[in-house]
Structure 1
Amino acid sequence: MNAPDRYERFVVPEGTKKVSYERDTKIINAASFTIEREEHTIGNILRMQLHRDPNVLFAGYKLPHPLQYKIIIRIHTTSQSSPMQAYNQSINDLDRELDHLKNAFEAEMLKFSRDY
């Protein structure tokens, strides 16, 4: 079969950065972030979180090719922020939101297990 090994889709090769940053030279306050070994799940969640930030003018992502296991996130911000600040803030906000979701789920599971 021509399909690549499944292991290749998820493990970042040694010497490769998980996230790389490239500033846009044509547009002020714009940049691209390449995230290795990720796909639509992370791209869409991160894009939606970036859209919640009032300083973000544009946030989008793309998969360059189905056989390349990376996404490219493009961010354009106002002059009050930078793409790096917006990216870091969205990652931190998502981390807190997912921690809250995990804790709420575990609390409900604990209540459910006590009832039975």
Structure 2
Amino acid sequence: MPLTPMPTFDDAALQAVACGCGTPDESGRKAVAVDPDTKTRNLKRLRRIEGQIRGLQKMVEDDRYCADILTQISSAHEALRAVGRELMRNHLKHCAATAIAAGGDERDAMYDELVDMMYKHSR
């Protein structure tokens, strides 16, 4: 089976922008690129989730019915998973693809990172 070449990235189309997965950490890493629409959607989702969590706090304070609280917790979990899926897609599409295309140690480190992420997030 012939190998297909790795996609190239047009600098004008993909600009290096900080995203939820790429905010500087202790190593100063940032996302290679992120679609601005995806970033906007994720920020809106996270604000909505923040409101859900505040609502959960109020439900607990108000001694609401346990099953109702658990339903809302499930909803918040699913909303967070949706953000995670978007971030994973962006990471694979941009960050991982760039590192894998670079080859060498960078590629091997990315493979290790991806395997670790799959195990951590498949629970």
Q: TM exceeds 0.5?
A: no
Which one has a larger percent helix, Structure 1 or Structure 2? 2
